[in-house]
Chain A
Amino acid sequence: MERHEGKGPRLVALFMLGTLLFNYPILALFNQPSQVFGIPLLYAYIFAAWALLIALMALVVERGRTP
């Protein structure tokens, strides 16, 4: 448990980042009728931010395994 110190705070920080990304007002910035590669901007944004968040979580968790 001791060797994982730092993992907890980092994950909490990611939680806060996620709360920010999936919330008003940032969400409103992308809530517009434009498209990227034919995909509505909002949809593209949400899925991209989602993937990014998960990647960061994986990074924190798996990196912490061998500090």
Chain B
Amino acid sequence: MLQEWVIVLTSFAYLGLLFAIAYYADQRADRGRSIIASPYIYSLSLAVYATAWTFYGSVGRAAIDGVGFLPIYLGPTLMIALWWVVMRKILRISKQNRITSLADFVASRYGKSALLGGTVTIIAVIGIVPYISLQLKAVSNSFIILLHYPEIVMPASVGAVPILRDTALWVALSLALFTILFGTRHLYSAEHHEGMVAAIAFESLVKLLAFLAVGVFVTFGVYNGFGDVFSRAAGQPKLEPLLTPIEGVAGGYASWVWLTVLSMLAIMFLPRQFQVTVIENTDERHLDKAIWLFPVYMVAINIFVLPLAFGGRLLFPAGGVDADTFVLAIPMLERQELLALLVFIGGLSAATGMVIVETIALSTMVCNDLVMPALLRMRRLALAQRRDLTGLLLGIRRTAIVLILLLGYLYFRLAGEAYALVSIGLISFAAVAQFAPAVLGGIFWKGATRRGAFCGLVTGFAVWFYTLLLPALARSDWAPRSLLEHGPFGIALLKPLELFGLAGLDQITHAMIWSMIGNVGAYVLVSLLDTPRAEEHRQASLFVDVFRRVAGGARLWRGTASVPDLYNVLARFLGAEAAEAAFAGYARARGRNWPDPQLEADAELVDAVETQLAGAIGAASARIMVASVVKEEALTLQEVRTILDEASQVIVYSHRLEQKSRELEEATAELKAANERLKELDRMKDDFISTVTHELRTPLTSIRAFAEILLDDPDMSISDRKRFLGIIARETERLTRMINQVLDLAKIESGQAEWNVSEVDVGEVIGDAIATTSQLFKEKRVALRTESAPEMPPVRVDRDRLLQVLLNLLSNAVKFCDRPDSKVAVAARVEDGHLRVDVTDNGPGISPQDRLTIFEKFRQVGDTLTEKPQGTGLGLPISRHIIEHFGGRLWVESEPGRGSTFSFTLPLRPGGTGHPSPVLAAAK
């Protein structure tokens, strides 16, 4: 048997665990290592949507009309698909404007209107109170039922219990205390309640697990799977209609559709949903995962609702057990003590989660949008002059929490008995749905005005009150019942449940139709007839164009203020420390120090202070406070329009300008690079010409000098004459050769050379080259050896050009042979798909630094001490060009003192002709 103290202790142990989790999360957040900054925690926290109503009430509703409970979860699934378009915008707006609650959002959108903020707050509180009472009812009922374990006894009628012995009261008070501990540790409400979110996410897990546990137990433990439950139910004539249920529901498809619409709006505009989705959001991107994870959660928590409902109906055929308690009653019937306790905890977690977030959200609204603006306007209190208001703010919030929960309890005592859980919840849904036109219209329609929003809200709320709340009170005898039956003053047309004669619908559908017609109609009509004030116009533009504007937007302000005044305002509400930090941050962002006497109280600073303040006390209160220290000149609407238009024009222009200047920069850089290349080419060309000139002038000098000497001296001896004429002849020859080679090189480099490519047997060409140079070798007494592989595949080259290369290499080799035992070897072989030829000598060798330069034009290596080498200095560069043209490589390996080897390769299957580079680019 479950003792009372066991249940109470377990409950408090559970709450203690929650608090520990919250405490841990807060600690982590203070150290900058947030645990709620995760899309999974975010998605779980959204599941605060599933309250005790889901936990107990879904089964209750399903036991009466089958799938009728599902629109409550299908609606959010549909809505969340639209979040990408809608919620991202709301998130962005809220972050930019430091929105603290739904009321703050509406107030801020319509010109920071305290009137609207207050209206939304009142509607939210009145609308949500039934919903909170529902949670109290669920917790206290489940507690009482569990207390009687193993007997199943329905709780006594509420009125019969004295207030102080009423469990629900104690539940309400405990939850108030708990919420105060949770939610008002920090003042700054635009900041995240990290601890609370972590605890809520944990609660979402607990309630899901508890519900799945009991679901699995009933479906697979008590019965034999889904099919078994349904087939047994099908055997019962009373249950048969539930299996094809939609026509059976009051209102049929109309009711189904309206329930879907209602819950679509609820998922966005319930204060607690707005709190977890918008205010507690740490990263816009978390929305991505939540878009499908949250619906998955809803499917999971609903899978076992129908088996549980049918199971309950089958197990308690007499009807003495309230269907809302099936979830708890079935495990008790089956004597599953622990499971029953787990279910109780699951229900408790569903209820506490809802109550905590809802009351925190509502208390923020009450404080920021209802009480503060009112207090600040009361001159008599001179609140604006008080030094530190942080304590006052916290006090207001805490009081609000207690009052809201007591209101919930009051409603429970007054009207709770008359309705099932689901119906109570739907009344609240219908109330918050009234926010939809003002919010959704506000973020997409710039023309919507403050008066329009106000009229819409009030009309919608009035209809809601008349068609839903009033009947609820009447049924509990707190209002005359005749009102329902005959209408006020006996006017039948005004009967609350059949307004203007609209009958045949269920209560919710009926109320939704009329309230939405009234709300949207008034909103649109009044907005169209109205002219917005300057402040409204500015805010409308900030909200609707949030994705188009840079943060901060246009500053619309003209007036005078002083830095100390602004500082003091902030310090009064946030405390000196936070104000200090805020000003320091502001100064730093502008490259200034704080404190800095030079800091100007300009529009930007005023705006920054107001935004900061709005994060603590809401936009409307912040406006009042800032206005109290700033002498403002009102801007006319025309001026605001002009500034806004100019601002957006300027943004467009500056975007274009940026792009143009980027393009220009790129073009300039390209131009510079091109210019550098040209200069480089120019320089190289200059060098080349200068070198060629020098090389040509040198032989010319000798020729001219000797010609003149001969001309001047007719009496010169014959032998001298012969010697000088010989020099002239040789130098002329050198000049000719040089000119030919320069032209040759120029042709090759510019790609204008002709190439007569054919299959060439390299061995044969080597033979030719040796034959041509044999005289040279003989003269210098240099030995020549050839080593050729026997079967050499032909290569596709220009035979004459290849011969030119070989002649060049051979004559170079012999030229540098200076020893008595000089020898030169020519070797050809196939290697790696290439044909390779080596020309090796045992001459003086080439030093490493010279090995690169010899392939440059006009660079010669020789023993300059003794004699300048013969040749033009163009042979090797030309040879290299030729080999490269055929896709091969020409290089030298050498060891000074031991000789050199010039090698080249030619591809056996030429992959293509090399790319002859233009003259100048190669003229390094």
Name A residues whose Cβ lies closer than 8 Å to a Cβ of B: 1, 7-8, 11-12, 14-15, 18-19, 22-24, 27-28, 31-33, 35, 37-40, 42-43, 46-47, 50-51, 53-55, 57-58, 61-62, 64-65
A8 to B227, CA, bound (A): 40
User: Closest approach, in angstroms, between the C-beta of A4 and any C-beta of chain B?
Assistant: 8
Given contacts A46-B67, A61-B288, contact A18 B81 (CB under 8 A): yes
Binds A, one of B70-78, B199-207, B790-798: B70-78
The answer to the question of B244 belonging to the interface, with a C-beta cut-off of 8 Å to chain A, is: yes
List, sorted by A's number, 12 A–B pairs whose CB atoms are closer than 8 Å.
Answer: A15-B79, A18-B81, A19-B78, A33-B243, A33-B244, A39-B230, A42-B66, A43-B230, A46-B67, A50-B77, A53-B295, A65-B288
- The 8 Å CB contact of B244, one of A32, A46, A61, A65, is A32
Give the residue name and chain of the B residue nearest to A23 (CB): B257
A62 to B547, CA, bound (A): 22
User: Which residues of chain B in 321-366 are interfacial with respect to chain A, using CB atoms and an 8 Å cutoff?
Assistant: none
A24 to B226, CA, bound (A): 26
User: Closest approach, in angstroms, between the C-beta of A19 and any C-beta of chain B?
Assistant: 6
Cβ-closest 6 pairs across A and B: A38-B227, A58-B292, A15-B81, A24-B253, A40-B243, A54-B295
User: Closest approach, in angstroms, between the C-beta of B243 and any C-beta of chain A?
Assistant: 5
- The 8 Å CB contact of B547, one of A1, A14, A40, A58, is A1
Convert B626-640 into 0s and 1s, putting 1 for each residue whose CB lies closer than 8 angstroms to a CB of A. 000000000000000
A33 to B231, CA, bound (A): 12
Q: Is the CB of A12 within 8 A of B85?
A: yes
Give the residue name and chain of the A residue nearest to B303 (CB): A47
A-B contact count (CB 8 A): 106
Query: Which residues of the partner chain A approach B240 to less than 8 Å between Cβ atoms?
Result: 33
Q: Is the CB of A38 within 8 A of B292?
A: no
Given contacts A19-B78, A39-B230, contact A54 B246 (CB under 8 A): no
Q: Is the CB of A15 within 8 A of B230?
A: no
Give the residue name and chain of the A residue nearest to B291 (CB): A61
User: Closest approach, in angstroms, between the C-beta of B248 and any C-beta of chain A?
Assistant: 10
Q: Is the CB of B84 within 8 A of A7?
A: yes
The answer to the question of B299 belonging to the interface, with a C-beta cut-off of 8 Å to chain A, is: yes
Q: Is the CB of B77 within 8 A of A54?
A: yes
Given contacts A54-B77, A54-B292, A61-B292, contact A47 B299 (CB under 8 A): yes
Interface residues on B, range: 35 or more
User: Which residues of chain B in 264-319 are interfacial with respect to chain A, using CB atoms and an 8 Å cutoff?
Assistant: 288-289, 291-292, 295-296, 299, 303, 306
A42 to B296, CA, bound (A): 20
User: Closest approach, in angstroms, between the C-beta of A5 and any C-beta of chain B?
Assistant: 11
Q: Is the CB of B82 within 8 A of A31?
A: no
Query: Which residues of the partner chain B approach A55 to less than 8 Å between Cβ atoms?
Result: 292
- The 8 Å CB contact of B292, one of A1, A8, A19, A57, is A57
Given contacts A40-B244, A61-B292, contact A12 B81 (CB under 8 A): yes
- The 8 Å CB contact of A54, one of B230, B288, B289, B296, is B296
Give the residue name and chain of the A residue nearest to B299 (CB): A50
Query: Which residues of the partner chain A approach B244 to less than 8 Å between Cβ atoms?
Result: 31-33, 40, 42
Query: Which residues of the partner chain B approach A47 to less than 8 Å between Cβ atoms?
Result: 299, 303
The answer to the question of B670 belonging to the interface, with a C-beta cut-off of 8 Å to chain A, is: no
Given contacts A22-B78, A40-B243, A43-B306, contact A11 B230 (CB under 8 A): no
Given contacts A33-B243, A61-B289, contact A15 B78 (CB under 8 A): yes
Q: Is the CB of B78 within 8 A of A38?
A: no
User: Closest approach, in angstroms, between the C-beta of B476 and any C-beta of chain A?
Assistant: 34
Q: Is the CB of A51 within 8 A of B299?
A: yes
The answer to the question of B818 belonging to the interface, with a C-beta cut-off of 8 Å to chain A, is: no
A18 to B257, CA, bound (A): 12
A40 to B226, CA, bound (A): 10
Given contacts A23-B257, A40-B243, contact A50 B230 (CB under 8 A): no
A22 to B306, CA, bound (A): 18
Query: Which residues of the partner chain B approach A14 to less than 8 Å between Cβ atoms?
Result: 81
Q: Is the CB of B85 within 8 A of A27?
A: no
A51 to B83, CA, bound (A): 19
User: Closest approach, in angstroms, between the C-beta of A50 and any C-beta of chain B?
Assistant: 6
- Chain B CB within 10 Å — which of A15, A18, A31, A47 has the most? A15
Q: Is the CB of B230 within 8 A of A42?
A: no
The answer to the question of B844 belonging to the interface, with a C-beta cut-off of 8 Å to chain A, is: no
